[in-house]
Amino acid sequence: MTGGELEKFVTDMGQPRFRATQISQWLQRGAPNAAAMKNLPETLRHDLDAVAQTLPVQIVKKLQSADGETTKFLLQLQDGEQIECVLMRTTYGNSVCVSSQAGCAMGCKFCASTLLGLKRNLSVNEILAQVLIAQWELRSAHATKCNSRPNGDANNGDVSHIVIMGTGEPLQNTENVIGFIERANADLGIGWRRITLSTCGVVPGIRDLINWGRPINLAISLHAPTDELRSQIMPINNRYKLNEVLAAADDFAALHNRQLMIEYILLGRRDENGDTVLYNSSPEHAEQLSKLLAGKNCMVNLIPWNAVDERDFASISGNAVHRFQDTLIKNGIHTRIRRERGTDIGSACGQLRLNSARKKD
């Protein structure tokens, strides 16, 4: 509901208008139900829970990493579809990785999210609900720690960053993703520059973002340094070639004077002897990638591959990861290795949803 709709809803229930503000504050903190809205009269809480639902999702499973830094949620939508989101507590703030679709049609060969195909696009509210679930998790943890209830004004570490990098291709659901970002900014106060959208390279969608004009961060899932290799693992590359994708991404980055993020999963493969060969991750690939990115204002995030049983790839050694990074750095490309988070809770994107769907079958 918009603010006006909520006000009408509340006054129609015979309540004073200020109750709408109170409810709105609780909703923005991700209150799971009206019972949690402690400053409302008990009868109103009861009445609200009888007629309304705060979020269009329910938590099916919540997994917490042993180090306490990562919480992964499996969520169920009202039509029974399931999605994932991940809360990461970092030194720079609290980041939520959200899904933009139930499933994915893009067919990247290393990804679990696409194995069951695309079910449907998520609505603005369904994407926003993922942030609110994380927000509530943070508030509840803080309340427990301080032995007090969430009060809405404590500097207790709310969600500060959003990455649209979970299941789905956001630029296949551009209108709702843009609607979500606008609301995250307006309702939750998340700054444009703290929001990152990651695409596998849907060029018309990147052009739409340029026309939209908000200075968010753009990440390109690149994963191969040549068209030949990229087309083997990412079908989107048959539609939009590397040069076209990078040209659109450059235009976006130049418009907002932003550094472009390049995501690169380091993949190996097993040969007939069971030894790991470097699929896109040899020093030669690093040289090719350096050439492709030479002169660009970009940061390469190297991502060690999280094993997915159904996928025909292998993880590469830490030495090979560092050799790849060293080659890029030697060639003047800003590069970092993404820290693996929550490996003890199955952090491969889409794996939790896939396992749950298989159990249902």
Binding pattern for the stretch 81-110 against ligand SF4, x by CB under 6 A and - elsewhere: -----------------------x-x-x--
Enumerate the β-bridge partners of residue 217.
Answer: 196
Task: Report the C-alpha gap between 217 and 197 in whole angstroms.
Answer: 6
Minimum distance, C-beta of residue 193 to ligand SF4, in the bound complex (Å): 23
Task: Report the C-alpha gap between 256 and 182 in whole angstroms.
Answer: 17
* Catalytic member of 7, 84, 137, 169: 84
Contact 218, 209 (CB under 8 A): yes
Enumerate the β-bridge partners of residue 73.
Answer: 62, 85
Residues with Cβ < 8 Å from 229, sequence gap 6 or more?
280, 285
By C-beta, is 20 or 122 nearer to ligand SF4?
122
DSSP H helices, the chain, are 3-12, 18-28, 42-51, 124-146, 174-188, 203-212, 227-233, 242-256, 283-293, 318-330, 351-360
Check binding of 328 to ligand SF4 (CB under 6 A). no
* Catalytic member of 104, 200, 298, 349: 349
Task: Report the C-alpha gap between 164 and 151 in whole angstroms.
Answer: 28
Task: Report the C-alpha gap between 72 and 197 in whole angstroms.
Answer: 19
By C-beta, is 150 or 166 nearer to ligand SF4?
166
- Kindly state the number of chain residues that form the binding site for ligand SF4, as judged by CB under 6 A: 11
| 108: annotated active-site residue | no
By C-beta, is 10 or 303 nearer to ligand SF4?
303
By C-beta, is 221 or 280 nearer to ligand SF4?
221
Contact 193, 225 (CB under 8 A): no
| Sign of the torsion angle spanned by Cα atoms 83, 177, 230, 305 | negative
| 84: annotated active-site residue | yes
Among 86, 97, 111, 354, binds ligand SF4 (CB under 6 A): 111
By C-beta, is 65 or 173 nearer to ligand SF4?
173
Q: Which two tokens stand for residue 245?
A: 């994708």
Minimum distance, C-beta of residue 348 to ligand SF4, in the bound complex (Å): 10
Among 114, 121, 135, 351, binds ligand SF4 (CB under 6 A): 114
Residue 104 dihedral angles phi and psi, to the nearest 5°: -155, 140
164-223 residues in contact with ligand SF4 (CB under 6 A) are 167-169, 200, 221
By C-beta, is 65 or 113 nearer to ligand SF4?
113
The continuous run of DSSP H or E covering 99 comes out as: none
By C-beta, is 30 or 166 nearer to ligand SF4?
166
Task: Report the C-alpha gap between 185 and 174 in whole angstroms.
Answer: 16
Binding pattern for the stretch 148-167 against ligand SF4, x by CB under 6 A and - elsewhere: -------------------x
Q: Which two tokens stand for residue 163?
A: 């990455």
Minimum distance, C-beta of residue 246 to ligand SF4, in the bound complex (Å): 17
Minimum distance, C-beta of residue 267 to ligand SF4, in the bound complex (Å): 12
Residue 168 dihedral angles phi and psi, to the nearest 5°: 105, 160
Q: Which bin fits 107, alpha (ψ -120 to 50), beta or left (φ > 0)?
A: left
Minimum distance, C-beta of residue 129 to ligand SF4, in the bound complex (Å): 19
Minimum distance, C-beta of residue 349 to ligand SF4, in the bound complex (Å): 7
Minimum distance, C-beta of residue 222 to ligand SF4, in the bound complex (Å): 11
Q: Which two tokens stand for residue 102?
A: 């139930």
The residues that are catalytic are 84, 349
Q: Return residues touching ligand SF4 (CB under 6 A).
A: 104, 106, 108, 111, 113-114, 167-169, 200, 221
